[in-house]
Amino acid sequence: MFKKLISSKRGEGYVDIVVGVFCLMLVVAFAVSFLPVFTAKQQLDLFAAEIVRQAEITGGTEVSGRVATMREQTGLDPEIIWECNYFRGNKVQLDGDISVTLKTTVDVSFFFFGPFQVGITAKASGKSEVYYK
């Protein structure tokens, strides 16, 4: 009786569908757990572009206000590394190179596999548009 029940092929399609749906749900859950990394990367790229543009317009002098605004808007608090050819103090002469690198980490977890730190980096560069005498 048991041997006959095991060798029967009835209901095999249902088992295949259940296994397929389970695998699909695992893939969707995995994708949703990694979505914050891509969102944070996009926000970090925007953050870098915005503060470099502010530095280009002001000659590198009044960027702290824009940095604070972008931190509030994005919710990110990255490490900011500036590379500039300073003219005097924190002023960048006309056509001087301005480059910024932002670094931060994002926590990613998948079910009971603990939080992992994923490091993301964004870079942006430009030229100063202010002439200092």
Provide mean pLDDT across the span 124-132: 91
Helix (H) or strand (E) holding 96: none
For residue 50 the two structure tokens come to 């915005």
* Per-residue pLDDT, 13: 73
Q: Render pLDDT for 41-85 as a digit per residue (tens, 0 to 9).
A: 999 999 999 999 999 998 887 898 999 999 999 999 999 999 988
Alpha carbons 99 and 77: distance in angstroms, whole number: 18
Q: Render pLDDT for 5-14 as a digit per residue (tens, 0 to 9).
A: 566 666 777 7
Positive or negative, the CA dihedral 29, 33, 38, 40 is: positive
